[in-house]
Amino acid sequence: MDELHADLLVIGFGKGGKTLAAAMGRLGRRVVMVEQSALMYGGTCINIGCVPTKALIHRASARPEDADPQAWYSASVASTATLTSAMRDKNFRMLDSLDSVTVVTGTAAFLDDKRVEVVAGDDRLEITADTIVVNTGAESVVPDIPGLRGSAHLVTGTDLIGSPDLPRRLAVIGGGYQGLEFAAMVRRYGSEVTVLEVADRILPREDEDVAQAAEEILREEGITFVTGARVSQVADTADAAIVHYEANGAAGTVEAEAVLAAAGRAPRTAELRLEAAGVRTTANGAIEVDEYLRTSRPHIFAMGDVNGGPQFTYISLDDYRIVADQLSGEGKRSTTDRLAVPYTLFMTPPLARVGLTENEARAAGRSVRVASKAVADLAAMPRASIVGEVRGVMKFVVDAETDEILGAALLSVDAQELVNTVALAMRSGVTASGLRDAIWTHPSSTEAFNEVLATVVR
């Protein structure tokens, strides 16, 4: 078995890991980056996550009415594959061009808390390192439903974006963020889409009025929803799958060429042999970390989705900042510094949110005022009419006593950008009145804040 020593070993080529490897390499540290597959250089986001899904969503919105759905979808998948391949190559070269960084492709597993074995076919490599960072991300969860895991028609999000074949009918098990994003995308390409959600409504973590507005838009797009649906079985036929469910006391079925399991993603730790290193995990399988992302072994860190935090690539990037501060800075930065972290569901128009929902704020005992207005009723947002997208709603939750912005839900054109302005305002202590009275460019989506925040009521 070959042996290699490193100052820093990073397992997983995700956003936080690759950024840390490059930064430490430029400082002259001896760094080894291990990635299980050459098709995952750069991590989940650019290969099977954010970039390909958003590229396909964009292409779906650009489909001409007279374009053949299957042909347009196949071309879109091919175009997206070209994009991700170029980005993957760029990410590899970013590390491979550094003399102090070595990229190793293979499956890593701990031998003890300082030694890791990497296997690639018959090849074995033992790496010892003073500091080890686990950045292996997460993987799709397939619910334990009879017949589902063995179905020839089961797909994950990764499968869906990688196949050039557009399913004529798609059944989505799960009406959360992942399920709805894929449902909206595939529907725009021309598929018949049915979403089965076990809760009594979609997006159960959002306020009911916001979730209802999103559902109305998606129904308008042609998506069918069955809420309160408990899937009991998936049975394959010759060329499709029959999804059996019960909802509101009645049995029902959905027939589809593809069944998307959209039950979330779980930390990827099974192959790491963490017990050999004495690294503890939480009840849901995530690596247990403190606010500095140190595991139960202080020289081993966990970054990104694998540590159980919010599953966003920008959180992984912030994880890098925390670990880098531990390795070469003052050691002060921590997860407790994070305030007002936004997120976006890329339906059309997108739904972006930051901070507390109205329900969460009231449950926390806050005295709340709400500002809310339908985009179609906003005179101060002509951009919505200019681009032909006037659907949606903007909602702010404001502390009635301090005028502090507690949260916002923005279902509108440009929401993925607007929410960053709101988040920055929240972190900087800008009040609702301050955001309301700010000067914005025209015609822009941001100027809607002037009008929406003028409607604050108890």
Which residues are catalytically annotated? 442
Rounded Cα distance between 235 and 337, Å, is: 49
Q: In this structure, which long-range contacts are made by residues 243-248, counting pairs with CB atoms below 8 Å and at least 24 apart in sequence?
A: 243/171, 243/173, 243/196, 245/196
**H helices of 157-265, where?**
157-162, 177-189, 208-220
DSSP 8-state secondary structure symbol assigned to residue 375: G
CA distances to 129, 134, 318, 403 from 16, rounded to whole Å, are 18, 10, 7, 36
Nearest to 32 by CA among 132, 168, 113, 110: 132
**H helices of 311-403, where?**
313-328, 358-363, 382-386
Residue 330 burial by Cβ neighbours in a 10 Å radius (0-12, 13-18, 19+) = exposed
Query: Are 318 and 348 contacting, i.e. CB atoms less than 8 angstroms apart?
Result: no
